[in-house]
């Protein structure tokens, strides 16, 4: 793989990281106002409609055989279930426990893509990815929050965060396989489209309302557009390089969310979090050497 190609892929992964970081910053606020299910549904709907508008500009992809349609359906199911579990974990658990576990889903993807898809990582790439994943975990929580936890708080968040991490990691392995077959756009579009269907089905079965006030629309529009940009950038990046490299980069988004909280909410950064950001930067720099 040539230097220009891998550099472009890394840039796209970083851009996805920023977009997801900003999206999560706004999503955390709106979810507390309208609820996690509504926030998930409307932000995903905006994202899906954005991709639908873009679709005619993309070269048409070949029809998928039944086997790959099943993979798309399964990947979408795992993806949306992971996010529903993640949001549920945030509702009843502690962010300081749930967030670092969930953001470690990239580790699952790296391991499985290496085993199942035969992606090879050299020593430099392994070190870079280790730095990025370690930095992501370090920036995702505060020691001061952990010290205030009791055992029940820990279990409440963990029982949702762990399966969410596993489901998300597995879903992106499927997405990587589909991108190698159909290009970078169609699998992302299918993932979002099926996610909407699952959320509608869940709302119908649980008899939860999805109605929102007009006041919430601007924030949901921003979140949806940011998610679209993140997924498109991620998909294109994976088409240029290995998902075992691009996904850990893009999943370092908690560092962005935390810095936004520092700027807008005046939340102080612990030394550990600063070290985590430096780890992420070091990993990105090493990948480009």
pLDDT in tens, 212-228: 888 888 889 998 999 89
Q: Which pLDDT does position 156 carry in this prediction?
A: 61
Q: Three-state SS string across 140-180, please?
A: CCCHHHHHCCCHHHHHHHHHHHHHHHHHHHHHHHHHHHHHH
Give the model confidence (pLDDT) of 50-94 as tens digits. 988 888 777 665 666 778 888 889 999 999 999 888 777 766 666
pLDDT in tens, 259-288: 776 677 665 666 776 777 777 777 777 766
Spatial distance between the Cα atoms of 52 and 54, rounded to a whole number of angstroms = 5
pLDDT value, residue 150: 52
Exposure letters 76-105 (e unless 16+ CB within 10 A, then b): bbbbbbbbbbbbbbbeebbbbbbbbbbbbb
- Report whether 131 contacts 280 (CB < 8 A): yes
Return the closest-CA partner of residue 274 out of 289, 287, 284, 262. Answer: 262
Q: Check: CB of residue 43 under 8 Å from CB of residue 223.
A: yes
Cβ atoms 185, 235 nearer than 8 A: yes
pLDDT at residue 93, rounded to an integer: 64
- Of 79-88, 152-161, 189-198, 201-210, the poorest mean pLDDT is in 152-161
- For 55, residues 6+ apart whose C-beta sits below 8 A from its C-beta are 185, 189
- Residue 127 buriedness (CB in 10 A; 0-12 / 13-18 / 19+): middle
pLDDT at 45 (0 to 100) = 92
Q: What is the pLDDT of residue 239?
A: 83
Whether pLDDT at 146 is above 60: no
pLDDT in tens, 8-63: 888 898 899 889 888 877 877 787 788 878 888 998 899 999 988 888 777 665 66
The pLDDT of residue 166 is above 80: yes
What pLDDT sits at residue 128?
A: 79
Using an 8 Å Cβ cutoff, are 231 and 172 in contact? no
Average pLDDT of the chain, as a whole number: 79
pLDDT at residue number 198: 92
């Amino acid at each position: 793989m040539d230097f220009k190609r891998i550099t472009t892929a890394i840039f796209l992964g970083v851009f996805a990281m920023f977009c997801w970081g900003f999206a999560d910053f706004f999503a955390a606020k709106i979810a507390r106002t309208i609820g996690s299910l509504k926030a998930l549904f409307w932000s995903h709907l905006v994202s899906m409609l954005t991709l639908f508008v873009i679709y005619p500009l993309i070269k048409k992809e070949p029809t998928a055989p039944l086997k790959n349609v099943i993979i798309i359906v399964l990947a979408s199911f795992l993806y949306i279930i992971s996010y529903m579990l993640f949001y549920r974990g945030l509702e009843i658990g502690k962010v300081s426990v749930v967030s670092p576990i969930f953001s470690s889903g990239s580790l699952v993807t790296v391991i499985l893509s290496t085993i199942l898809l035969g992606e090879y990582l050299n020593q430099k790439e392994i070190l870079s990815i280790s730095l990025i994943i370690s930095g992501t975990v370090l920036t995702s929580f505060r020691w001061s929050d952990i010290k205030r936890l009791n055992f029940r708080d820990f279990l409440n968040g963990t029982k949702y965060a762990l399966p969410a991490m596993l489901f998300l990691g597995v879903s992106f392995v499927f997405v990587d396989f589909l991108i190698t077959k159909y290009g970078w756009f169609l699998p992302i579009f299918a993932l979002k489209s099926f996610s909407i269907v699952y959320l509608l089905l869940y709302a119908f079965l649980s008899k939860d309302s999805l109605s929102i006030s007009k006041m919430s629309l601007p924030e949901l529009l921003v979140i949806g557009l940011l998610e679209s940009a993140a997924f498109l950038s991620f998909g294109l990046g994976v088409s240029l390089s290995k998902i075992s490299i691009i996904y850990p980069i893009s999943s370092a988004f908690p560092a962005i969310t935390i810095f936004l909280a520092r700027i807008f909410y005046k939340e102080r950064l612990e030394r550990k979090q600063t070290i985590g950001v430096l780890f992420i930067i070091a990993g990105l720099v090493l990948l480009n050497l």
